[in-house]
Amino acid sequence: MDVEGLIRRSISGMQPPTYPGPEAGLLRMDANTNLIGRNPAIDRAAKRVSEIDLAQYPTCLSDDLRSAIAREHGLESEEVLVGGGSDEVLDVLCRAFLNPGDVVACATPSFVMYAFFGRLHFGKVVEVPLRRPDWALDVEALLGVKAKLTFVASPNNPTGNAVPAADLERLLAGSTGLVLVDEAYADFCGQDFASRVRRFENLVVSRTFSKSHGLAGLRVGYGVANRPVMERMYGAKTPLTLSAASEAIALESLADPSFVRETVAGVQRERARLAGRLADLGFRPQRTDANFMLVDLGEPSGPLAAFLRSKGVVTRPMGDIQGLGDFLRVTVGRPEHTDRLVALIREYRS
């Protein structure tokens, strides 16, 4: 059988996306997940989960969680879509609105899944470079693409900087297509465009429980948009993609936001300290609004990353992204994580 002759044309030549998986005994400072601690919602939800009849399907659209998320942002549940991580929101958006050949715009460097889903759904992907040295979004260049769908991460991954609200508003006002603003890391800088989807009819916002909530293993994400857009997205969504157990834990996390507040405060304190310690080593940490930091080492990042991994600390060398060969991405954790990282860098240099 000629498998290559049978595959969908849009994936020909594409490499499968990969995410870092769990490995026992390692300090994972590479995945931008929550290193602050265990979310108490997991334990609080134990009784709720024990009472769920797991022999039955959950509600088709995760109704209770949709309602709770809607209350968080001053919206109606019909303006919320819940899915298996925010990746599902990106996928559903492309399924709902892209036809073959439609133009998809995104910045570069940015989250690789924007281009992946755009190409998967037969879109013509146009990547617009961020403006250096401050990694600013080139709004005029993005508008010049005249895309049907534009993806913007704020704060951006891997650079860490949030897009100024005025720039996002200018992009939304000038675009003739839909604009998705990915707010996976927005809690770490207080940004909330999710609450503004009624103001901008072409705005879609995605968010996740993987970062500030510390629930990456649950794979819970959501999108918000005005009703006409959301109705079309629901028309393209597979039902029952979120388990009842995941929904129960996410609901507990929303019910008591103290863990999220403590996480955000801890990250904000420690990222300033981490930046100072790395600057003292002669590196150039980039300004960040997220729970991770992009660091210019002034030399290829691969050797240091390999050494750190051999000592049990995993970081993200950026050599696979054009122009970022000298950069290392590091997740911000607790003070002891910073101290361990810095001590190992000193050991590497000795």
Residues 6+ apart with CB under 8 A from 129: 107, 108, 138
Does 319 have pLDDT greater than 80?
Answer: yes
Residue 136 bridge partners (DSSP) = 131
Name the nearest CA neighbour of 35 among 343, 341, 344, 347. 341
Give the domains, in start order, of the chain with CATH numbers.
3-38+258-349 (3.90.1150.10), 41-255 (3.40.640.10)
The pLDDT value given to residue 81: 97
pLDDT at residue 13 is higher than 80: no
Q: Can you give the pLDDT at residue 293?
A: 98
Most distant pair of Cα atoms in the chain: their distance: 61
The string of pLDDT tens digits covering residues 131-155 is 999 999 999 999 999 999 999 999 9
Task: Give which of 80, 125, 107 is closest to 167, Cα–Cα.
Answer: 107
Tell whether the model's pLDDT for residue 72 goes beyond 90: yes
**Over 90: is that where the pLDDT of 11 sits?**
no
pLDDT at 59: 86
pLDDT at residue 308 in the model: 98
Q: What is the pLDDT of residue 93?
A: 98
Percent of the chain clearing pLDDT 90 (strictly above): 87
Average pLDDT value over all residues in the chain: 94
pLDDT at 3: 72
pLDDT category at 1 given cuts 50, 70, 90 is confident
Nearest to 274 by CA among 344, 209, 333: 333
Instruction: Reduce the secondary structure of the chain to three states and give it as a string.
Output: CCHHHHCCHHHCCCCCCCCCCCCCCCEECCCCCCCCCCCCHHHHHHHHHHCCCCCCCCCCCCHHHHHHHHHHHCCCHHHEEEEEHHHHHHHHHHHHHCCCCCEEEEEECCCHHHHHHHHHCCCEEEEEECECCCCECCHHHHHHHCCCEEEEECCCCCCCCCCCHHHHHHHHHHCCCEEEEECCCHHHCCCCCHHHCCCCCCEEEEEECCCCCCCHHHCEEEEEECHHHHHHHHCCCCCCCCCHHHHHHHHHHHHCCHHHHHHHHHHHHHHHHHHHHHHHCCCEECCCCCCEEEEECCCCCHHHHHHHHHCCEECEECCCCCCCCCEEEEECCCHHHHHHHHHHHHHHHC
Report pLDDT for 9. 75
What pLDDT was estimated at residue 96?
97
Give the pLDDT confidence of 218-266 residue by residue, as tens digits: 999 999 999 999 999 999 999 989 999 999 999 999 999 999 999 999 9
Q: What is d(CA 1, CA 12) in angstroms, rounded to the nearest whole number?
A: 17
Summarised one tens digit per residue, pLDDT across range 96-113 is: 999 999 999 999 999 999
Per-residue exposure over 200-227, b if at least 16 CB sit within 10 Å of its own CB, e if not:
bebbbbbbbbbbbbbbbebbbbbbbbbe
What are the tens digits of pLDDT across the range 179-205? Answer: 999 999 999 999 999 999 999 999 999
Residue 28 confidence class, pLDDT cut points 50, 70, 90: very high
Average pLDDT over residues 13-35: 83
Tell me the pLDDT tens digit for each residue of 45-64: 887 788 888 888 888 889 99
33: which 2 tokens? 């997940």
The whole-model pTM stands at 0.94
Go through the chain and tell me how many residues it has: 350
